[in-house]
Amino acid sequence: MVPNEDRLKTYLTIDQVKDLFIYVGQRVIDSKPLLTTIDGAIGDGDHGIGMEVGFKKAIEVIKTSNMTTINSIFFEIGKAMISNMGGASGVLFGTLFVASAKDKPSINKLNLEQLASFLHSGLEGVKARGKAELGDKTMIDALEPATIALNEAFQKNEDLVAALKSASEKAQEGMENTRNLIAKFGRAKSLGERAIGHQDAGATTISIMFEAIYTFVNELQNKGELQHE
């Protein structure tokens, strides 16, 4: 059993964070047909297309620019989304990444405490920008429970992989719960009760992202490639 203080010092290197988001982006891109079908039921059917454009651009930037801080990776991914995606989600998913890194001291490794703190700021940024709260049938319904789970796991001294597993489970739960909700934002708003039974597209993307983050980091752990301070 590793002592708590040591477990908290598990971290990802810059290159691992770059590979992580290339993997996450690819997983979202691969989900394009699903996301487009889901958005088609209660939206305009473009969510998968937008996410593909955003993550393709983000992956290109990750691969071609010489980023030396974790902060700049988050910032550049967000910027790529905001300037290329369009739609409500371009600004909102872009803001998630940009707000995560905003006003944070520069870091060149990423541990659970920092990831939890980044996501907390990202969530607050999306809420400030889009004004949606929990229960409004948006991406917030997956993002908020996942972010809370990650922060609670840190408070409880859980290790990085266990924390990501609970965050991923909470995101999925939140995504599934959007089926029962009436939309207060976005295109599904005008459908009222008719949106019930359909899950939200943005919440689905968030769930896919957290599942991918967990899978990638768990794999690093299995390969013995996770770093410890």
Q: Report the nearest approach of ligand ADP to the CB of residue 86 (Å).
A: 8
Residue 89: CB minimum distance to ligand ADP, A: 3
In the complex with Mg ion, the residue whose CB is nearer, 46 or 211, is 46
- Residue 209 CB burial class (10 angstroms; 0-12, 13-18, ≥19): buried
Q: Which residues sit at the interface with Mg ion, rule CB under 5 A?
A: 39, 43-44, 46-47
Residues whose CB is less than 8 angstroms from the CB of residue 25 and which lie 6 or more positions away in sequence, other chains included: 55, 56, 58, 59
Q: Would you tell me which residues interact with ligand ADP (CB under 6 A)?
A: 39, 43-44, 46-47, 50, 87-89, 92, 126, 130-132, 138-140, 185-187, 200-203
Query: Least distance in Å: CB of 164 to Mg ion?
Result: 28
Rounded CA gap, 191 and 182, in Å? Answer: 8
Residue 125 contact among ligand ADP, Mg ion, none, beta carbon within 5 to 8 Å by kind: none
By residue count, the chain amounts to 229
> Taking CA 110 as the corner, what is the angle to CA 107 and CA 115, rounded to the nearest 5 degrees?
105
Toward ligand ADP, which CB reaches closer, 9 or 189? 189
202 binds, among ligand ADP, Mg ion, none (CB under 5 to 8 A by kind): ligand ADP
Enter the tokens of residue 96: 């998630």
150 binds, among ligand ADP, Mg ion, none (CB under 5 to 8 A by kind): none
Cα-to-chain-centroid distance, residue 129:
16
